[in-house]
Amino acid sequence: MDLGGGVSAHPACPIELPAHWREWLGTLQAEVITGANLLIAIEMPSQTPTILDAETQLLDRRLTAMWRGLSLQGVPTYQQAKILLGGVDDRGETSVRRVSTPVTAYRHQFGESLDVSSTVLASAKRFADRIDHVYGAVPDFRRVRAGFTALNKGIEEHTAAERLHQFVRAMDGLMKLPQGAGRREFTNRGPTFVTGTGLNGILEQLYLLRNTQEHLNEFRAVIPAPTQREFDRITSLRAYQAEQAALASYRRLFDGGPLNDFLTEASIDAFWRLDEAERRRRWGAAFDLDAAAVEHERLFALLYDRP
């Protein structure tokens, strides 16, 4: 599948690894590459295809952006992911210069596996183009990068509490919450990004849970549930809502959202000084947390009591 800009997706490895590179990689790594059922390739002309240089760093950044573009839509069921960097010389011989393994991404305990369709891949490419732009524009977009880093840390965490902590931090990357007024402004600014029943209460609880985790305290002070099952349900639900809110916000930012409003500290301040109607017009439709809650509750009821 040609995704444009030298990026393509393949249901099997499209290159033949020479025997000496298989030996260098080792049997297990070589089998992961040659046996992959999804391979995303990025091609570009090079004067130095066998040397690790600035061109290699650019390819690495673009490949990583594609992986992040997929992760913004969910986490597929997979065993391993690899980033393979190399080149093809004038004789048509393939060389492998570096192999790395991205940190494992995890789904929410009661989340659906991502089905990697052609639509998902095309969306990943659009997201990746803007992600690559943001990471190539240092020092601009500092808060976007910081928030997006927190989002990816959340995806790479196992526990619901730490996932929630990182996803709320990712939202803060876009909200630029003022010191001393974070709780109030999180509930004031959140409706630009999300909507839903009892939204103010949900946002306030998310912010309090983030602070609770930040200071290594227990969630029970914020979630006074009568039973362990109910405590687990609410904790899981809030972690899922925080995740879906953060993912939807960065998907919007990287696909038609007002990215340049988040260019600098000053531009972010200006965005939040806009009147509410203009701010929501610029941002676009808010993400529906009610739909996320329905999906979570369905899977929680189905899976929680399963042995």
Query: What pLDDT digit, counting tens, does each position of 132-169 carry?
Result: 999 998 899 999 999 999 999 999 999 999 999 999 99
Q: What is the mean pLDDT of the chain?
A: 90
Residues 244 and 292: beta-carbon distance below 8 Å: yes
* Mean pLDDT of all residues in 280-304: 94
- 270: pLDDT strictly greater than 90: yes
Q: What is the mean pLDDT of residues 1-14?
A: 89
What is residue 255's predicted lDDT score, i.e. its pLDDT? 95
Write down the pLDDT at residue 51: 62
Instruction: Please tell me the total number of residues recorded for the chain in this structure.
Output: 307
∠ CA 282-286-287 to the nearest 5 degrees?
145
Tell me, what's the pLDDT at 183? 94
Has residue 174 got a pLDDT over 90? yes
pLDDT at 92 over 70: no
Residues 250-274 have a mean pLDDT of: 97
Instruction: Please give the pLDDT value at position 12.
Output: 84
pLDDT value of residue 148: 98
pTM exceeds cut of 0.75: yes
CB 42 within 8 A of CB 84: no
**pLDDT above 80: residue 20:** no
The H or E element that residue 210 is part of is: helix 199-214
